């Protein structure tokens, strides 16, 4: 099934971003550390192409540390770019954001004025609102497990000289990279009502089988000779008692179990993408 998700409010929000960028000195792009490439909105990146960019690899506690480090090096090597990492083990604060912006400005000969405005953006459910609340040490933005919680821009004060414009989570009209789209769905970016849990879980099962077989064996007692997604889902169903009357597997329940354990981190730390070499 081809995946796509572009609610009407996102088109309007994209137009607002264009206006806001005219008064913005730098852009913060929040990415999911498990899938930095898939979670980077190409339309947002194009809009911000002329602005210095701070990329934040968020939810790093759910990704493999070594792979996240590789991604940070990759993004730090890009023009007009600084990359920061955020996770429960090492939370960013407002001062680190300001210092990263100063570093960018100095490296690119950009004058630091009396008042500076940053714009923060990212796809839905990447953890942007949670980051904002951490930066300001108080609850400013609604957070939730379902994507598209924030739907309007809001202005946030970091200190006397630096302000942040929060934007709604934005997707793009057509998800041409369907492998990337399925990775986004696996991490919870696409609203659950817009996808079939079974499709996403079977995709995830195949990805994990390919790169993390040992984890599946340990977690779900996956047979050593298992070689396809169906075998993984059968193991999940048995391990989590997803069985209907007549000893039939409840595929939907098993799918929800796998997705929930992956998204919550109960399965461990996984990276679905590696940086280009």
**What does the pLDDT look like over 126-139, one tens digit per residue?**
998 888 888 876 54
Whether 59 has a binding-site annotation, put simply, is: yes
Instruction: Out of 117-131, 173-187, 190-204, 242-256, give the one with best mean pLDDT.
Output: 242-256
Type and span of the H or E element at 28: strand 26-32
Claim to verify: residue 69 and residue 17 sit in the same structural domain: yes
Show which of 124, 147, 166 is a domain's final residue: 166
Does residue 273 form part of some domain? no
Within 8 A by CB and 6+ apart from 83, the residues are 54, 55, 56, 57, 71, 72, 74, 75, 76
Cα distance between residue 263 and residue 259, in whole Å = 6
Claim to verify: residue 148 and residue 216 sit in the same structural domain: no
Q: Write out pLDDT tens, residues 221-247.
A: 999 899 999 999 999 999 999 999 999
> Looking at residue 260, what is its pLDDT?
96
Cα distance between residue 188 and residue 168, in whole Å = 16
Claim to verify: residue 124 and residue 200 sit in the same structural domain: no
Whether 130 has a binding-site annotation, put simply, is: yes
pLDDT at 13 over 90: no
> Looking at residue 141, what is its pLDDT?
47
Look at the chain and report how many structural domains it folds into. Answer: 2
> Looking at residue 143, what is its pLDDT?
45
Whether 128 has a binding-site annotation, put simply, is: yes
Does residue 137 form part of some domain? yes
Does residue 57 form part of some domain? yes
Contact of 89 with 118, CB cutoff 8 Å: no
What is the CATH classification number for the domain harbouring 69? 3.40.50.300
pLDDT at 199 over 90: yes
Show which of 151, 166, 181 is a domain's final residue: 166
Claim to verify: residue 127 and residue 14 sit in the same structural domain: yes
> Looking at residue 8, what is its pLDDT?
66
Q: Strands (DSSP E) along 114-270, which ranges?
A: 116-122, 154-157, 162-166, 243-244, 248-249
**Where residue 175 falls among pLDDT bands split at 50, 70, 90?**
confident
Show which of 147, 166, 185 is a domain's final residue: 166
Claim to verify: residue 122 and residue 219 sit in the same structural domain: no
Claim to verify: residue 139 and residue 44 sit in the same structural domain: yes
Claim to verify: residue 222 and residue 105 sit in the same structural domain: no
Sign of CA dihedral 93, 96, 101, 104: negative
pLDDT at 210 over 70: yes
What is the CATH classification number for the domain harbouring 257? 1.10.1580.10
Whether 73 has a binding-site annotation, put simply, is: no
Claim to verify: residue 40 and residue 91 sit in the same structural domain: yes
Q: Write out pLDDT tens, residues 20-77.
A: 999 999 999 999 999 999 999 999 999 999 999 999 999 999 999 999 999 999 999 9
Does residue 269 form part of some domain? no
Does residue 236 form part of some domain? yes
Whether 235 has a binding-site annotation, put simply, is: no
Contact of 208 with 215, CB cutoff 8 Å: yes
Claim to verify: residue 66 and residue 144 sit in the same structural domain: yes
Whether 169 has a binding-site annotation, put simply, is: yes
Does residue 191 form part of some domain? no
Q: 230 lies in which domain range?
A: 196-264
> Looking at residue 152, what is its pLDDT?
64
Contact of 31 with 59, CB cutoff 8 Å: no
Cα distance between residue 53 and residue 75, in whole Å = 10
Does residue 178 form part of some domain? no
What number of other Cβ atoms are within 10 A of residue 167's Cβ?
23
Whether 127 has a binding-site annotation, put simply, is: yes
Q: Please state, for a pLDDT cut of 90, what percent of the chain lies above it.
A: 64
Whether 113 has a binding-site annotation, put simply, is: no
Claim to verify: residue 141 and residue 25 sit in the same structural domain: yes
Whether 246 has a binding-site annotation, put simply, is: no
Does residue 230 form part of some domain? yes
Cα distance between residue 42 and residue 53, in whole Å = 14
Claim to verify: residue 107 and residue 202 sit in the same structural domain: no
Token pair, residue 76, equals: 């730090």
Three-state DSSP class for 82? strand
pLDDT at 149 over 60: no
> Looking at residue 137, what is its pLDDT?
67
Task: Give the residue carrying structure tokens 């968020």.
Answer: 58
Claim to verify: residue 157 and residue 205 sit in the same structural domain: no
């Amino acid at each position: 099934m081809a995946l796509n998700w572009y609610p009407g409010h996102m088109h309007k929000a994209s137009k607002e971003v264009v206006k806001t960028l005219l008064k913005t000195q730098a852009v913060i792009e929040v990415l999911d550390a498990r899938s930095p490439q898939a979670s980077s909105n190409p339309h947002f990146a194009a809009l911000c192409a002329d602005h210095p960019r701070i990329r934040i690899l968020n939810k790093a506690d759910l990704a493999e540390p070594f792979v996240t480090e590789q991604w940070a090096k990759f993004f730090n090597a890009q023009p007009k770019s600084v990359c920061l990492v955020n996770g429960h083990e090492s939370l960013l604060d407002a001062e680190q954001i300001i210092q990263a912006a100063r570093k960018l400005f100095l490296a690119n000969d950009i004058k630091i004025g009396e008042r500076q405005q940053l714009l923060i953006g990212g796809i839905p459910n990447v953890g942007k609102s949670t980051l904002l609340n951490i930066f300001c040490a108080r609850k400013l933005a609604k957070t939730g497990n379902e994507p598209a919680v924030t739907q309007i821009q809001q202005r946030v004060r970091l200190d006397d000289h630096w302000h942040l414009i929060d934007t709604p989570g934005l997707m793009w009209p057509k998800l041409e990279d369907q492998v990337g789209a399925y990775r986004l769905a696996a991490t919870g970016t696409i609203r659950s009502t817009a996808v079939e849990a079974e499709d996403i879980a079977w995709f995830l099962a195949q990805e994990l089988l390919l790169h993390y077989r040992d984890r599946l064996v340990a977690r779900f007692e996956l047979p050593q000779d298992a070689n396809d997604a169906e075998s993984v889902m059968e193991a999940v169903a048995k391990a989590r008692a997803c069985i209907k009357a007549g000893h039939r597997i409840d595929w939907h329940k098993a799918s929800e179990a796998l997705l929930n354990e992956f998204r919550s981190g109960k399965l461990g730390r996984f990276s679905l993408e590696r940086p280009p070499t």
